[in-house]
Amino acid sequence: MEWLLDPLTVSFVQRALFAGMLVSVLCGLVGTWVVLRGMAFMSEAISHGMLPGVAVAYLAGANLLVGAAASAVVMILGVAWVSKNSRLSEDTGIGLLFVGMLALGVVIVSRARSFAVDLTAFLFGDVLSATVGDLAWLAAAAAVAGIVSVIAYRPFVALVFDERKAHTLGLRPRWAHLALLALVVLAVVASFRIVGTLLVFGLLVAPSATAALFGRSIGATMAIAVLLGWSATLTGLIVSWNADTAAGATIAGLAVLQFFVAAVIRSASRRLRPAVSPNPIAVR
């Protein structure tokens, strides 16, 4: 049992575990809305589109989180502008800004070779270097995501399941959509230093997508997503310690693996009981 318990006796692994659990709470809350709303592509684009802001903030000696948030906001505004001022669909605008912002970030990084090494940490994170300050920031972000999800629950539900009805009920779906985008930015910006921009997307989508296969309500889906995130975090840290692999990538990889295992089990279960139809997620 030493291989199982030894990693958890090390202080920086303990901080990494707490950080991963907080990221799981944050991403479980936000990721559920992302999956149900079909905003996965937008979330991925935001996570990659932060690179220019992070690079500029690094070169200017400014706060990286501020740079990341500013870059994410610019990308969202750019997508909105393309959609409004052209006949192109929103996903086309997302694709254009996704590539453009990522290319701009790489150009900036290529001009500042001193940042090249830190680019790896930006993309893949370093959960084992989590500090007490990181834990406090993640806890605050998770609390904000929880409060917003409770306060804006009805508008979010209406937006996810029937945007036209949301208009009819006066729930302002456009504002609800902006609030969801703000939550995505919050989750990505708060988590990128811990798990990186490439891997935060895995924790944002994979546990929530897995939970959506079994959750009977939005609340249950969120709870299952958080538990799955915790499971991936704990297992990933133990595996990475013993196998000498990158901790963040191992955690994200296990989160994705959970989805495919759950999907196979669900598919096999439905074949064994073909008469039982799957229950959709209930609104409660």
Q: What is the pLDDT of residues 144-156, one digit of tens each?
A: 999 999 998 988 8
Q: Residue 226 and residue 220: Cα distance in Å, rounded? A: 10
Q: Does residue 165 sit within a domain?
A: yes
C-alpha angle 240-143-64 in degrees, rounded to nearest 5? 65
pLDDT above 70 covers a percentage of the chain that reads: 87
Domain around 157? 18-265
Are the C-beta atoms of 209 and 167 separated by less than 8 Å? no
User: According to the model, what pLDDT value does residue 278 have?
Assistant: 55
Predicted confidence band at 174 (pLDDT cuts at 50, 70, 90)?
confident
How far apart, in Å, are the Cα atoms of 223 and each of 20, 31, 137, 235, 264?
16, 11, 21, 18, 21
The CATH code of the domain that includes 173 is: 1.10.3470.10
C-alpha angle 6-9-15 in degrees, rounded to nearest 5? 125
Q: Residue 4 and residue 278: Cα distance in Å, rounded? A: 37
First to last CA, the chain: 42
Q: Residue 219 and residue 198: Cα distance in Å, rounded? A: 27
What residues contact residue 100 under an 8 Å CB cut-off, 6+ apart? 78
Q: Does residue 193 sit within a domain?
A: yes
Q: Does residue 3 sit within a domain?
A: no
Domain count, the chain: 1
Q: Does residue 214 sit within a domain?
A: yes
Residue that the structure tokens 């996570």 belong to: 47
Q: What is the pLDDT of residues 12-40, one digit of tens each?
A: 888 989 998 999 999 999 999 999 988 88
Q: What is the pLDDT of residues 194-217, one digit of tens each?
A: 777 767 888 899 999 999 998 888
Q: Residue 174 and residue 50: Cα distance in Å, rounded? A: 23
Q: Does residue 281 sit within a domain?
A: no
Q: Does residue 98 sit within a domain?
A: yes
User: According to the model, what pLDDT value does residue 275 have?
Assistant: 52
Which of 48-52, 162-166, 263-267 tops mean pLDDT?
263-267
Q: 2 pLDDT exceeds 70?
A: no
Q: What is the pLDDT of residues 54-79, one digit of tens each?
A: 888 877 888 888 888 899 888 888 88
Q: 284 pLDDT exceeds 60?
A: no
Q: How far is CA 81 from the centre of its chain?
A: 24
Q: Does residue 276 sit within a domain?
A: no
Q: 89 pLDDT exceeds 80?
A: no
Q: What is the pLDDT of residues 114-171, one digit of tens each?
A: 655 556 666 667 788 888 888 999 999 999 999 999 998 988 888 887 777 667 766 6
